[in-house]
Structure 1
């Protein structure tokens, strides 16, 4: 079985690329995640593809009883645990390969999946959502203006092997896939990035 290429990426490389002034995805998604965590009446959430935990500082201890951070890279999760020690008792990290181990996912009121569907595809995402069974789902997908889905940067070649698992995601196709499993769109918003790419947030309710 092929090793998921995300397992081999270093968190420093990923985050340094994402925070570059020409990319600005780390900063933009941090602010988007603030509203994702605040907007809905839920007490538990699951963040699929949590990486280094960008945005977890917006978790309110008064609101959330449980937040799961899920990633395939165990080194990412160790760093999340280290960075967010003050969320001990609320935050639980789970090392799960969403392509092959969906059955390991617990239930949660809400799922947040930012730049995640691109790496598992619609079908695996549907399967994960059906397993978690949330009331709300909030996704951020990236729309590309060119064929280069990874922004140009000094870290560009760190991501070469991701080509093996990358899918180009379309807003309307994702909405159709979610409708098939009983989720309808309740909100969309666009955020432009410096390099012409666009992040689209799509929120669903069951």
Structure 2
């Protein structure tokens, strides 16, 4: 069975995410600026990079290597087109995290924003173990209401995601990370429209 993320057009995903009623693209962009600058690292791997939102905040004099990972190869092609200034620094890898964790390279830090929802805690633990970073920064979506996809003209593009979606819970993520030797060192919350919030939790080994 194909992963639903391989079928969703990037334009539909991004147009949905940046609607005034959703505001996730904008909120995550701001949060990623902080993620990139928070710790003394020279390499970072972004799991579920989609169209590369936030990459404009990469400080080229700070990083030696930036990896962008996604299951959708057309998303990665778009990232390369959008950020030619990162040529030689950014390496895009088309990897199915559920089946191909062993293909992930090592890096000082893992960034996983709105990703764990689609692979589950156990798979995320495997990915982190493989990369073996000192720092992990995750953004998860907490739904204060029942529907986890905000209403929008693009709603039905996401219908198939129900097959792979996991409801997120802050303490469950912290527990899963502690099991593999990472303790939480900081939390940041960002309220969104439609009864949702983004929660960033950073971990250190």
Q: Please name the residue that 2:109 is paired with.
A: 110
Does the 8 Å contact 2:145/2:195 carry over to 1?
Answer: no
Aligned to 2:57: 58
1:174: which partner in 2? Answer: 173
Q: Distance in 2 between matches of 1:149 and 1:155?
A: 14
Paired residues, what number? Answer: 205
**Deviations for 1:55-78, whole angstroms, at most 9, x for unmatched residues?**
000000010010000000000000
What TM-score, normalized by structure 1, do the two folds share? Answer: 0.99
Report the counterpart of residue 83 of structure 2 in structure 1. Answer: 84
| 3-state secondary structure, aligned to 2:151 | coil
**1:68 aligned counterpart, secondary structure:** strand
**Would you identify which runs of 4 or more consecutive aligned residues in structure 1 move more than 2 Å?**
none
The alpha-carbon deviation at position 196 of structure 1 amounts to: 1.9
Distance 1:61 1:200 in 2: 27
What is aligned with 2:128? 129
Deviation per CA, 1:22-50: give whole Å up to 9, x if none: 00000000000000000000000000000
RMSD over aligned CA atoms reads: 0.4
Q: Which runs of no fewer than 5 residues in structure 1 stay unpaired?
A: none
Cα distance in 2 for residues equivalent to 1:91 and 1:84: 9
**2:119 aligned residue:** 120
Q: Which runs of 5+ in 2 are unaligned?
A: none
Cross-structure match for 1:146: 145
TM-score by length of 2: 0.99
Cα displacement (A) at 1:195: 1.6
Classify the secondary structure of the residue corresponding to 1:124.
Answer: helix
Is 1:36–2:35 an aligned residue pair?
A: yes
